[in-house]
Amino acid sequence: MRIGVPKEIKSDEYRVAMMPVGAEMLVKGGHPVFIETQAGVGSGFSDDDYRAVGATIVATHEEVFDKAELLIKVKEPQPAEIGLFRPGQVVFTYFHFAASPELTQACLESGITAIAYETIRDKAGRLPCLTPMSEIAGKLAPMEGGKYLEKPMMGRGILLGGVPGVAPAHVVILGAGVVGTNAAKVAAGLGATVVLMDVNLERLRYLDDVMPANVHTLYSDPHTIREQLRLADLVIGSVLIPGAKAPQLVNRQHLKEMKNGSVIVDVAIDQGGSIETSRPTTHQNPTYVVEGVVHYCVTNMPGAVGRTSTIALCNATLPYAVKLANKGYEQAACDDPGFGEGINLVAGRITNAAVAESVHMKCQPLKGSR
């Protein structure tokens, strides 16, 4: 199968979807690999690194799209890329369809088979291709939040960890999954007082056992959230209902009750965001202020640490890319129903139930899928 890896064109995106080691594995398996020139430089991989393992470097974005039967990317297709798709082409990347009915419609019309990293499940029901990026975004979230709490960045002028004689910041984390847990570890490590909230009591029980003493768990209900927002210096939004739009837990009225200069880092923005006033931002222009609260809503946070993120992403996606190339998506889904859950669109129809529900369209599951 001919495999194409384009250079990412989303603003400040430095990741690449395949490392030279992955290209080598696929080439050795008999699959020609086409890499767009300079695709790897943001992550520290040169064209020569790919040439050395037998991949072909091509000059343009258009040429990669044109040559590939299987296109492997990082970020959701950008408007300029949609016109380059052709019916039947298999595209393996993050799509986040639930957050964008427009993207869903455009990809349906293009006739591609869309396989979304973020909805693939492993045997334990986890999301193996989302997890590494969530670990990174989670670790970045308190660091970014801490930066924007600084006075010159429009924040309250609060140091996350405080100092002897001065209280640390109060950090509220909504969603105690992978992002939330990693955010809690970093924020707690810096000395903040951390409140980790979730609707999953089993999860909270476990975290209560393993987290340091400055992390407190609370059940996430509207009253407790509102109480915590009033105390918060930094709020991190990290909820997820897989495949669906993020539930909105904070509205504009809540912001009016928050401290002036407090900060919200809405990591869940790629699934639509968990705060009413969140809208996607970029690394170039990461923040804006509403009701005195600084909002940071960058949709590709891991892109900022491109090398770490590329390695972490490719470690998770390569085994699936190899299966896809060797077997095709139908057989791969048959052999691994969890992988089948990653197949969101096929030839103009939606095949993932959560995605269909989110964009209010009909689901037509693949035969034999769960």
Instruction: Given the residues 49, 198, 233, 270, select the one marked as catalytic.
Output: 270
Q: Which residues, numbered 204-233, are part of the site for ligand NAD (CB under 6 A)?
A: 220
Give the residue with the Cβ less far from ligand NAD, 147 or 203.
Answer: 203
Question: How many CA within 13 A on the CB side of residue 127?
Answer: 19
61 catalytic per annotation: no
Q: Which stretch binds ligand NAD (CB under 6 A): 49-57, 238-246, 252-260, 287-295?
A: 238-246
Interface residue with ligand NAD, options 3, 90, 114, 178 (CB under 6 A)? 178
Q: With contact defined as beta carbons under 8 Å apart, do 60 and 67 qualify?
A: no
Residue length, the chain?
370
Please choose, out of 13-21, 60-68, 129-137, 331-339, the segment that lies near ligand NAD by the rule CB under 6 A. Answer: 129-137
User: Would you tell me how many other CB atoms lie within 10 Å of the CB of residue 189?
Assistant: 15
Q: What is the DSSP letter of 266?
A: E
In terms of CB distance, is 222 or 368 closer to ligand NAD?
222
What CA–CA distances, in Å, run from 308 to 14, 43, 74, 138, 316?
Answer: 10, 8, 14, 14, 13
C-beta separation of 122 from 340 below 8 A = no
Cβ neighbors of 271 (< 8 A, separation 6 or more) are: 96, 98, 99, 240, 244, 245, 246
Question: Binding marks (x or -) toward ligand NAD, 244..263, rule CB under 6 A?
Answer: --xx-x--------------
Tell me how far apart the 2 most distant CA atoms of the chain are, in Å.
65
Token reading at 53: 């393992």
Among the listed residues 55, 108, 115, 130, the single contact to ligand NAD using CB under 6 A: 130
Q: Name the segment binding ligand NAD (CB under 6 A); options: 16-24, 194-202, 205-213, 357-365.
A: 194-202
Note whether 137 binds ligand NAD by CB under 6 A.
yes
Residue with tokens 């998506």: 329
How far apart are CB 31 and ligand NAD at their closest, in Å?
29
Is 170 part of the annotated catalytic residue set? no
The answer to the question of residue 175 lying near ligand NAD (CB under 6 A) is yes
Q: Does position 196 bind ligand NAD by CB under 6 A?
A: no
302 binds ligand NAD (CB under 6 A): yes
Residue given tokens 């037509």 in the structure block: 364
Of the candidates 270, 312, 333, 339, which one interacts with ligand NAD according to CB under 6 A? 270
Nearest residue to ligand NAD by CB is: 177
Residue 290 CB, shortest distance to ligand NAD, in Å, is 18
Q: Indicate the DSSP class of residue 344.
A: E
Closest CA to 171 of 276, 158, 209, 255: 158
Q: Which of 61, 96, 254, 295 is catalytic?
A: 96
Q: Are 128 and 312 in contact (CB under 8 A)?
A: no
CB 320 within 8 A of CB 120: yes
The footprint of ligand NAD on residues 49-108 (CB under 6 A) is: none
Residue positions annotated with a catalytic role:
96, 270
Binding site for ligand NAD (CB under 6 A): 130, 133-134, 137, 174-180, 197-200, 203, 220, 238-241, 246-247, 249, 267-271, 299-302
